[in-house]
Chains A and B, each alone.
Chain A
Amino acid sequence: MDISLQNIEYRYQANTPFERLAIKDVSINIPTGTYMALIGHTGSGKSTVLQHLNALLLPTEGSVIIGSQEIKAKQKNKNLRMIRQKVGIVFQFPEHQLFEETVEKDIIFGPMNFGVSENEAKERARLALKQVGLAEEILEKSPFDLSGGQMRRVAIAGVLAMEPDCLVLDEPTAGLDPRGRKEIMDMFYSLHKKRNLSTILVTHSMEDAARYADQIVIMQQGHVVKQGTPVEIFSSVTELVEMGLDVPEVVRFQRMLEEKLGLKLERTYLSIEELSAAVAELLRGAPV
């Protein structure tokens, strides 16, 4: 499902003394199957953009096209439910949204709201639980008896069970331990590939953006300031540093190496494997 934001603007609390412009003139295209990372500082407007993808916020200017539906500013928009079924959002700290008596009931809550039969929803719950790496035994437990990490996984399973075409992730691994973080990010990535989803990841982690995304959008003060593939984005290290953003360790290492040796590698490498292969190649060719 293609998603496209066209020159959208959003003002919080329009027409009150608290009015605040959150994003302006933001245009982003997300064709089916894209894994897009949205990067920016706190307050850069990432979360505002993200909520437009699910019609939780409606633009005060411009239009949002989600699949076959168009949402225009200043118009009565109907059938937002259809959109919400197709676009699943994993919010920051999604464990805060758990409320049911049992894990199973909580996971099937979403699908059943969208008219899936109870049996099928339970089937999906089992599958989703397996995807997030939890054992089936916890289905009958109360979500409030679980550990923080398990609660997070249950909440994510609740979104996956809706089987959305597009997955929007708002820092889904914030506050998890490194291993859990990698497990969950890898799980999202394999799901993305397997179901040909469109995935939008809001993150602070440049490592994640470099590892998983095929498109990166950088936002600053409510504007899109840079957009491109990870290699393009991370090739201009100085620019990123000027924006106060981080650069993946691998890229930093490559830059330092290049400076030390006074040469330039063929391109920017984003994974340790690629870079080490390139360095090995370099060493082999270099006179000892």
Chain B
Amino acid sequence: MMEKMIIGRYVPADSLIHRLDPRSKLIIIFLFVCIIFLANNFFTYILIGIYTILMLGLSRIPVRFLYAGLKPVLWLVLFTLLLQVFFTKEGSLLYELGPIKIYEEGVRQGIFISMRFFFLILMTSLLTLTTTPIEITDGLETLLHPLKKVRFPVHEMALMMSISLRFIPTLMQETDKIMKAQIARGVEFSSGPIKERIKAVIPLLIPLFVSSFKRAEELAIAMEARGYRGGEGRTKYRLLSWKLADTLQLLILVVLTILLILLRS
């Protein structure tokens, strides 16, 4: 049922992007999210587009799979586009039909904002598609380590994150299972009037909540039974290693940033 969802999912492969250090990937994505706002004209968007496509190509994720997984998100992108096109009232009037007026600035804004949105989604999915949840949390924990000085609970945060990421597939499985059990009892999740479909969520959500609470309690007990006492003095099994490729990737991003600043209007 949710087989096609790719958000938050890891696709194992041995590509250049997969082999990067999670820290560099996190930094790259974070910077990318910032510098994408530098783009404000045709050339800068093309530049961002080329960069995104290049990164996707390097990751060796099948395009067909990406497309199938992002299809639901494309509707959101389309919605953003239409919203901008219909409600921006700047620039010269392009088209008029009764109360509907489309302005030049609206079309421009619409295309740019939806492109920005689309590239953001692609790049952020790239992070989760090529990095295991454990790598992501390890990377975050090391990156945020300096914050410990100001008493920010870095380890606890990382633990919380890895636990929630760890249980996403479990929760998905559970959802699928309960959904099937309720379908077998005559619930219609995917057809029928909208009111009925909303009501159909209750037999799904309540069992999910119940089992999640139970699972959380069991997990806490299991952790205590194995002597968990927080992150103080804890060593790591997987060690992160920063390689030349990571530095190069960061450099490419710096170059991209400089180009964007030069080309933006």
**Residue among A15, A88, A97, A162 making CB contact with B178, cutoff 8 Å:** A97
Query: Which A residues touch B185, using CB under 8 A?
Result: 97, 109-110, 113, 158-159, 162
Given contacts A13-B3, A51-B180, A94-B181, contact A114 B186 (CB under 8 A): yes
Q: Which of A89, A97, A144, A162 has the most CB of B within 10 A?
A: A97
**Residue among A12, A51, A110 making CB contact with B186, cutoff 8 Å:** A110
Query: Which B residues touch A63, using CB under 8 A?
Result: none
Interface residues of A, count at CB 8 A: 29
Complex CA–CA separation, A81 to B178 (angstroms): 17
Complex CA–CA separation, A197 to B2 (angstroms): 33
Complex CA–CA separation, A94 to B203 (angstroms): 13
**Residue among B3, B64, B177, B180 making CB contact with A12, cutoff 8 Å:** B3
Interface class of chain B by DSSP: helix
Question: How big is chain B's contact interface, by range?
Answer: 20 to 34
Which stretch in B75-83, B117-125, B205-213, B249-257 binds the other chain?
B205-213
Q: Which of A78-110 contact B (CB under 8 A)?
A: 81, 84-85, 87-89, 91, 94, 96-99, 109-110
Contact assessment for A56 and B186 in the assembled complex, using a CB-CB cutoff below 8 Å = no
**Residue among A17, A97, A113 making CB contact with B207, cutoff 8 Å:** A97
The count of A-to-B residue pairs whose CB atoms sit within 8 angstroms is 66
Complex CA–CA separation, A54 to B44 (angstroms): 54
Contact assessment for A81 and B3 in the assembled complex, using a CB-CB cutoff below 8 Å = no
Interface class of chain A by DSSP: mixed
Q: Which of B115-136 contact A (CB under 8 A)?
A: none
Is the CB of B233 closer than 8 A to any CB of chain A? Answer: no
Given contacts A17-B11, A91-B177, contact A97 B64 (CB under 8 A): no
Given contacts A16-B68, A114-B186, contact A98 B177 (CB under 8 A): no
Q: Which of A149-170 contact B (CB under 8 A)?
A: 158-159, 162
**Residue among B3, B178, B184, B187 making CB contact with A16, cutoff 8 Å:** B3
Closest to A16 in B: B65
